[in-house]
Chains A and B, each alone.
Chain A
Amino acid sequence: MIWQLDFLILFFAIICALAAINIKDLLSAVIILGAFSFFMCLLWAEMGAVDVAFTEASVAAAVSTILFVGAVIKTTRRSRD
């Protein structure tokens, strides 16, 4: 566990989370959410929770991204608020 690396990955994860909230294009928000999940996966793996990191990589970064892309295509791509 290296705390500098922890803070660096956490910084990138927070940037991705803020970008995913604020962006208007929902497809871009889905892709940025996938990047957020990837940074969280790196953070879990770096802190020693390899099983949680594995689940995060397979579920959050892969399957939920596909489901969100499907939902965006079924509805609309532009946020209205």
Chain B
Amino acid sequence: MLTQIYKNLIVQTVCRIIIPFIQIYALYVIAHGHYSPGGGFQGGVILAAALALIFLAYGQDAAVRRLNRHQAVILCAIGVFIYAGIGLLCLLAGGNFLDYSRLAPILGVTIPRARSLGILGVEIGVGLAVMSAMYSIIIDVAGKSTIAAPRDFVQLPKTKRDNVGPAA
């Protein structure tokens, strides 16, 4: 059961040790996304996997205490805002959408440096958006439902098919 707290000392201790390393690795993937494999999407997915590991090992309450649904939606919006904001800043500076070379006078650096910094900002925005969107999908699919399921108020007639497998 994903909604029950599965108290196991070995699982919880290993998760507590391994989760910071997963998050550091995800930040490495995001920060080096512009000249090595990886990037915002993969790093964001790895960050969401670290949160899902908290969800699986410590239960839904512990995961929601760290990042609840509203915070996840707000973080997702902030990520999209960072991405679109950098693009619109380039547009306002006189270039095309996401034309990072126009950011060079604003940041006060050379054009190649401005391109590198601009794409780093875009990767950070994409990483934030992907992490919070994945996390809220996982919470919605695997977690306790906050609204009543249709099964609760429509009593279906019990058939022989309901006894086939070890259902939830």
* A residues with CB within 8 A of B: 50-51, 53-55, 58-59, 62-63, 66-67, 69-71, 73-78, 80
Contact = CB atoms under 8 A, between A and B. Distances in A.
Contacts of A58: 42, 45-46, 49
Given A55-B42, A74-B168, A63 B134 contact: yes
Contacts of B37: 50-51, 53-54
A75 B142 CA distance: 11
Contacts of A69: 2, 142
Interface of B: 1-2, 29, 37-39, 41-42, 45-46, 48-49, 52, 56, 134, 137-138, 141-142, 161, 164-168
A38 to B, nearest CB: 15
A68 B164 CA distance: 20
| List of 10 A-B pairs having minimum Cβ-Cβ separation, nearest first | A78-B165, A70-B142, A50-B37, A58-B45, A51-B37, A70-B141, A77-B165, A76-B167, A62-B49, A54-B37
5 contacts: A54-B37, A54-B42, A58-B45, A69-B142, A71-B141
A78 B166 CA distance: 8
Contacts of B161: 80
Contacts of B38: 51, 54
Nearest to A52: B37
